[in-house]
Structure 1
Amino acid sequence: MRILLSLLALLLALPAAALDLVPTTLQLPAEGGHGELWLYNPGPGRWQGEVRILAWEQQVDAEKLRPSDQILASPSRLDLPPGTRQRIWLLPRETSPVAVEQAYRVILSPSGPDLPRYSLPLFRGHATPLARPDLHAGIEPGTSQPLLRLRNAGSVHARLHDLAFVAGDGRRTLLLPGLAGYLLAGRERRWALPVHADGYAGGHFQARLQDGRVVDLTAPDPAIAASAPSGL
């Protein structure tokens, strides 16, 4: 009996492994409908915590999360023993269509200090299925370090991968390999870039989007640049 109790205490003391999450980017329909997030705990420990859904906003140099009741999570409390699965329903309060995609973050917060925390992007889509981001880029003047200022004039977000600069002679330089970040609909962001010999003159930027397309990031239209809001 003493051996069994010792083994049980050892198992309970084991740290929880990372949860398997499917999918890792969540999308809700523009008009009503619900979404699903599946969790799997491979063990060896138990994962306990809560689910919160926060509105996600962007400023030029910052990400901001704030409380929101527009998307409900069910269940909102989690208790996953090793080897178990859990489905979380994502339920929008409003079913009316949205003109511009809404962005949220699904936060899985553990109840214990040694458990991993998760933050997943959640988007409630535009009513037009073929809507795409509309990206404009330029080097911000008057700064000691090159700063790429990127604006998304479209109605859906852009997930940017493999940010690159294509010089006037066609040479391509990979600046930020892998995931560079998200740019939400109607927002602007800045990225610090490595110093370039010609200051990024005479060329253009490229990035790969979430649908696999490699797109040129065009210079902003002067009228758009003049009227663009700074931050929120």
Structure 2
Amino acid sequence: MKPFCCALLWALASFVTSGVASAGALRVVPVTLDLAAPAATGAITLRNEGTQPANVQIRVFRWMQGADGQDALQPTTDVVASPPAATLAPGASYVVRVVRAGGPASGGEESYRLLIDELPTAGRVQPGRISLLVRQSIPVFFSGLEVSAPQLQWQVSAGRSGVTVTATNGGSRRQKIADMSLATASGQLLADRKGLAGYVLGGSSRSWSFPAARNVKPGTAVVLNAASDNNRIRVQATVQAAK
């Protein structure tokens, strides 16, 4: 599976942890769409809080996790955003509908990402400077009637570049992970990752690297702590050799 996204996308996505996402003058509410059958349509509201008009492009991608344990986006026509583009005057709000084209989901949980790009306008372009897009990434979930709770299995492996932690989700519903830390069995902190670490999608695996723990050897007993949607995670594991 070839990833469609770049590191910038996920860096921007990582700060979306509250009920409102803000990048520059553009605000988005809500920051997650979670639609359970029979619902097949949701909506987000964009608001331009700046003093210049904002040109916005909205696209939807299927969100998957590959064999390498990393996030990947693929083009899709299964879910569409309407309208796909808009110009917001200063202080204006705009509602974007997100529609699953085939109606309600019938199986487990489907995961998508809504990419909202604020495009440079003529008034913001300055000679001799590079104008960058401002991008926000909103998770969108459609679930059917047979969604099973997340069931995570954890593995810790060590290689030359440090420790890799992998979570495999045996359920069909995603699990959000945040505030990860890795410590020895005696409590010595080896490495940590503050804030939102990402999601483990249903039936998928997600991996995180901890370069700061590069001195950890296979066979070491470690304790992984993290926060999830509704509880704390504490896992005791023995470090395996990286394959």
User: In the alignment, does 2:166 pair up with 1:149?
Assistant: yes
After TM superposition, the score normalised by the length of structure 2 is 0.72
* In 1, Cα distance between equivalents of 2:196 and 2:49: 26
* In 1, Cα distance between equivalents of 2:177 and 2:185: 22
CA contact (8 A) 2:64 2:73 kept: yes
Residue 209 of structure 1 aligns to which amino acid in structure 2? S
> Residues 116 and 30 (structure 1 numbering): CA distance in 2 closer, same or farther, change over 3 Å?
same
| More displaced stretch, 60-69 vs 46-55 | 60-69
Summarize deviations over 1:152-197 as a string: whole Å, max 9, x none: 1111112110112354346676611111122211111221122276
User: In the alignment, does 2:59 pair up with 1:52?
Assistant: yes
Q: Which structure: larger Rg?
A: 1
Q: Give how far 1:214 is off.
A: 0.8
User: In the alignment, does 2:127 pair up with 1:120?
Assistant: no
Residue 207 of structure 1 aligns to which amino acid in structure 2? A
User: In the alignment, does 2:47 pair up with 1:37?
Assistant: no
Alignment of 1:63-142 (within 5 A): 63-112=71-120, 113-128=131-146, 131-140=148-157
Q: Give how far 1:83 is off.
A: 0.3
> Residues 17 and 88 (structure 1 numbering): CA distance in 2 closer, same or farther, change over 3 Å?
same
> Residues 173 and 198 (structure 1 numbering): CA distance in 2 closer, same or farther, change over 3 Å?
closer
Quote the residue 2:29 is aligned against: 22
Residue 223 of structure 2 aligns to which amino acid in structure 1? H
> Residues 26 and 217 (structure 1 numbering): CA distance in 2 closer, same or farther, change over 3 Å?
farther
Q: Give how far 1:43 is off.
A: 1.1
Between Structure 1 and Structure 2, how many residues are aligned?
202
Summarize deviations over 1:47-102 as a string: whole Å, max 9, x none: 11321111111122532211111112122221101001111111111234433211
* In 1, Cα distance between equivalents of 2:24 and 2:207: 35
Quote the residue 1:161 is aligned against: 178
User: What runs of 5+ residues in structure 2 fail to find an aligned partner?
Assistant: 1-22, 121-130, 239-243
CA contact (8 A) 2:179 2:226 kept: yes
Summarize deviations over 1:118-175 as a string: whole Å, max 9, x none: 221111124257x43211111225x222211221111111211011235434667661
> Residues 123 and 96 (structure 1 numbering): CA distance in 2 closer, same or farther, change over 3 Å?
closer
More strand by share: 2
Identity within the alignment, %: 25
